[in-house]
A and B are shown apart, each in its own frame.
Chain A
Amino acid sequence: DQQVKQNSPSLSVQEGRISILNCDYTNSMFDYFLWYKKYPAEGPTFLISISSIKDKNEDGRFTVFLNKSAKHLSLHIVPSQPGDSAVYFCAASGRNDMRFGAGTRLTVKP
């Protein structure tokens, strides 16, 4: 069961522009959402998170937006840099449960 969906398997963006990665979830019991970044040959690393009581969380170039009514969250990267090229996983967490999306491969072109 795909409780967390990232419908775009890949995204290509020019350096300096905005990258927007999207994620949808189906389980309304999820109350915490995270984004992980994964480089080849490495495990995913935590990037940014948001609690369900908020609709926005910002950390430097990274901002996560949460729309609870639509069960949708997005990650904005501004400005995008070539070093941001990686696979981004969206994760949703409930009590003792965490589910990941399939990932979106972001390529930032110089």
Chain B
Amino acid sequence: KAGVTQTPRYLIKTRGQQVTLSCSPISGHRSVSWYQQTPGQGLQFLFEYFSETQRNKGNFPGRFSGRQFSNSRSEMNVSTLELGDSALYLCASSVVLAGGVNEQFFGPGTRLTVL
């Protein structure tokens, strides 16, 4: 099975612009989660989508949004970029294990630099 793929891998934007990141989950996985990784803050949860619906949301401003398509592919959008949005954005797809636990499989991430 192919792993989680994210595009683009690297992106440079300027303040005020908007950006869209894409994630293709592992085939058969219906849940997709997005995380922001910055030095010292670790992995900060952005949101989770399941069957095209946002199921969970972290504490990020409304500039951060996402969606999921019927084929489970997901996009994340950040509008009005700020310098502090520079980070590695990770996508994870998950499968439910016995007992209802989600095991997450991460993509390689998109490195966003805001100048």
User: Does B100 make an interface contact (CB < 8 A)?
Assistant: yes
Q: How far is the CA of A69 from the CA of B107 in the complex (A)?
A: 34
Q: Which of A13-21, A57-65, A78-86, A95-103 contacts B (4 or more CB under 8 A)?
A: A95-103
CB-CB < 8 A to B84: which residues of A? none
Give which listed residue, B55, B107, B108, contacts A96 with CB less than 8 A.
B55
Judging by beta carbons under 8 Å apart, are A32 and B101 in contact?
Answer: yes
Mark out the residues of chain A between 13 and 46 whose CB falls within 8 Å of any chain B CB in the assembled complex. Answer: 32, 34, 36, 41-46
A42-B108, A43-B4, A100-B35 known; A93+B42 contact, CB < 8 A: no
Q: How far is the CA of A98 from the CA of B55 in the complex (A)?
A: 12
Q: How far is the CA of A18 from the CA of B42 in the complex (A)?
A: 24
User: Does B41 make an interface contact (CB < 8 A)?
Assistant: yes
**A-side interface residues, number (CB < 8 Å):** 26
CB-CB < 8 A to A101: which residues of B? 42-43
User: Does A107 make an interface contact (CB < 8 A)?
Assistant: no
Judging by beta carbons under 8 Å apart, are A89 and B103 in contact?
Answer: no
Q: How far is the CA of A6 from the CA of B105 in the complex (A)?
A: 21
Q: How far is the CA of A44 from the CA of B3 in the complex (A)?
A: 12
**B-side interface residues, number (CB < 8 Å):** 26
Judging by beta carbons under 8 Å apart, are B101 and A99 in contact?
Answer: no
Mark out the residues of chain B between 76 and 115 whose CB falls within 8 Å of any chain A CB in the assembled complex. Answer: 90, 92, 99-109
Q: How far is the CA of A51 from the CA of B7 in the complex (A)?
A: 34
A103 to chain B, nearest CB (A): 5
Of A51, A97, A100, most B-chain CB atoms within 10 Å = A100
Q: Which residue of A lies closest to B91 (CB)?
A: A43
Give which listed residue, A1, A9, A41, A100, contacts B40 with CB less than 8 A.
A9
Judging by beta carbons under 8 Å apart, are A98 and B104 in contact?
Answer: yes
User: Closest 8 CB pairs between A and B?
Assistant: A43-B106, A102-B42, A100-B43, A32-B101, A103-B42, A44-B106, A43-B108, A43-B107
Give me the interface of B with A, judged by CB distance under 8 Å.
Answer: 4, 33, 35, 40-45, 48, 55-56, 59, 90, 92, 99-109
Given A45-B106, A98-B45, A100-B35, 8 other A-B contacts at CB below 8 A?
Answer: A9-B40, A41-B108, A51-B99, A89-B42, A93-B101, A96-B55, A98-B102, A103-B42
